[in-house]
């Protein structure tokens, strides 16, 4: 798995929650972007692992 993928997801979810709680739409949107970036990193990491398995 890509390094930092889970931490990006957790950080993003926290920003989303705080932004939603305090009514800060910008912070909430930033959190959504961070979380989605983490999800994509995780998916890319899984694909890389599968490709390496096929090549080896």
Higher-confidence position of 38 and 1? 38
DSSP 1-56: --TTHHHHHHHHHHHHHHHHHHT-HHHHHHHHHHHHHHHHHHHHHHHHHHHHHHH-
Do 20 and 28 meet the contact criterion of CB atoms below 8 Å apart?
A: yes
Model-level pTM greater than 0.85? no
Q: What is the mean pLDDT of residues 49-56?
A: 85
Distance in Å from the first CA to the final CA of the chain: 18
- The pLDDT tens digits of the residues spanning 28-52 come to 999 999 999 999 999 999 999 999 8
């Amino acid at each position: 798995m890509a390094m930092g993928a889970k931490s990006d997801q957790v950080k993003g979810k926290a920003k989303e929650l705080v932004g939603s709680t305090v009514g800060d739409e910008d912070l909430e949107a930033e959190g959504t972007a961070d979380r989605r970036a983490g999800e994509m990193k995780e998916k890319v990491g899984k694909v890389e692992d599968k490709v390496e398995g096929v090549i080896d």
